Amino acid sequence: MIKIATAECFTHGKIGNELHALGQSYEGKFGCEYIKNPEKYGGFNYSEISVTCSLFIPTIDAVKTILRVPNPPEPKELIKGIKVYDEYGDKEVSKVMAKAVKKLTNCDIAIGTTAGIGRGGISVVTDELEITTTTNINADLRENNSFDLLKRQESGIKKAIEIILLLLNNDFKKLESIENIEIIKK
């Protein structure tokens, strides 16, 4: 069994929900919204996925108290406690969030996401790898443009899921070909 945990901000826990539906083989409205053809990624048995938790962590206080990160990077701005970083900061903080949820849950794969100004940050952390990337959509949380924020969210969910499915299927060639991806082997 492969245990997965998420600490998500702009993706609102939807990555964890989607992976849970995949692992449980749920169908219809209770099933996957974004994963339509998982077998195209390879022959991994997705019933071997167990989502330990999927946390929605939009605020800096939640990073400190729930994820137990005593000194996270300082946001550029706070909006009602919601952390707003630039793209560089988002990538850094998504990795901090993934590492923290991995430590808390002792899962095999941890995912962290956060997005303020720019394309946001997505990190996937295992015992062997740290994968960090961004979405393909620029948006600015401070502008409250729902259309752009939704498009960035959808891009982030799809990209994170693609990374997970490629990782589960050990397809590192395709994983390494993803735009704007950084893979660090530990």
Query: Per the structure block, which two tokens stand in for 163?
Result: 């990374």
- Average pLDDT over every residue of 33-38: 94
Which among 125, 5, 108, 116 has a CA at the least distance from the CA of 58? 116
CA distance 94 to 57: 11
At residue 175 the predicted structure's pLDDT band, cuts being 50, 70 and 90, is very high
pLDDT digits (tens, 9 = 90+) for 118-170: 999 999 999 999 999 999 999 999 998 999 999 999 999 999 999 999 999 99
Q: What is the pTM of this model?
A: 0.97
**Domain of 161, in residue numbers:** 2-185
CATH of the domain at 35: 3.90.950.20
Number of alpha carbons in the 13 Å side-chain half-sphere of residue 6? 26
The arrangement of strands across the sheet holding 2-8 comes to: 49-56, 2-8, 109-114, 121-125, 129-133, 182-185
Specify the number of domains making up the chain.
1
Distance CA 64, CA 98 (A): 13
The pLDDT assigned to 170 comes to: 97
Instruction: Say if strands 109-114 and 117-118 run parallel, antiparallel, or are unpaired.
Output: unpaired
Tell me if 131 sits within 8 A of 123, measured CB to CB: yes
60-101 residue pLDDT tens: 999 999 999 999 999 999 999 999 999 999 999 999 999 999
Question: Rounded to whole angstroms, how far apart are CA atoms 170 and 143?
Answer: 39
